[in-house]
Amino acid sequence: MLVTLDHDRIRELRLDRPPVNALNPALLLRLRVALEEARRDGCRGVVLSGSPGCFSGGLDIPELLRLGRAEMTATWGSLFALLRALATSEIPVAAALTGHSPAGGTVLAIHADYRIMAEGPFRLGLNEVQVGLPLPEVIFRTLQHVVGERQAERLAVGGLLVEPAEALRVGLVDEVVGVADVIPRALAWMTELLSRPAAAMAGTRAMARRSLRQGFDALDPALIEDVVDQWFSAETQAVMHALAERLGKRRPAG
């Protein structure tokens, strides 16, 4: 599910769960462990990448719909733990968005330090509202941190999926380059960042990202239960099951 590649002291974590690198409980846990391993192994930065044409299609809706409440509560807890690990990582993280990055793909990306998007007919954005799921507040606050209050409202309330040029215009991504150049450019950006005096960069970075840490510090079990309540609401379940049926028709048997 995850390929680890070392580029000197920068570690690339490449999502490898065909066909669309969908996020299931096992992959959420593996990613969080891999981030901690990178820090423990002395890596100075991480690049999170995907396959050409697809970074991540988001949460694995068909698999998650088979989970009961206790398992779903654990899954949301695991997702928030991963996002916290990204947002509060002691080492910087760049998201190399190699293609489509809707919903959970964008959620991962906005918690990184920097986002580079592939040029082409790709979409990204937080379309949770379109699939019947209110955007959790802690994720919305991160979106505000990235794009500002007005654009965060526009993107989140509308559940908008946008193309790379629009994502760049509103600040959802920092660069748009050719598909083949996304990972090399992410590595180059990270190399440049790491050329700064280490203590000065790290201290300023921690200050700049303090609000993200505070948002996750305020996330308690009751808030996670609220998210799970929304997941199991009649409206959300109806939309999710319809989506899962459509996804099933698109995928080849087996």
pLDDT at 248 over 90: no
Domains and CATH numbers, the chain: 2-180 (3.90.226.10)
Q: Chain-wide mean pLDDT for the chain?
A: 95
Report pLDDT for 142.
98
Report pLDDT for 252.
34
Report pLDDT for 249.
59
**pLDDT digits 0-9 by tens, 111-140:** 999 999 999 999 999 999 998 889 999 999
**pLDDT digits 0-9 by tens, 197-213:** 999 999 999 999 999 99
% of the chain exceeding 90 in pLDDT: 93
Tell me the mean pLDDT in the region 46-67: 96
pLDDT band at 250, cuts 50/70/90?
low
pTM for this model (two decimals): 0.95
pLDDT band at 254, cuts 50/70/90?
very low
Report pLDDT for 246.
84
How far from the centroid of its chain's Cα atoms is residue 241's Cα?
23
Between the CA of residue 32 and those of 9, 35, 77, 138, 140, what are the distances in Å?
19, 5, 12, 18, 21
pLDDT at 253 over 60: no
Tell me the mean pLDDT in the region 235-240: 93
pLDDT at 251 over 60: no
% of the chain exceeding 70 in pLDDT: 98
The letter for the amino acid at 42 is G
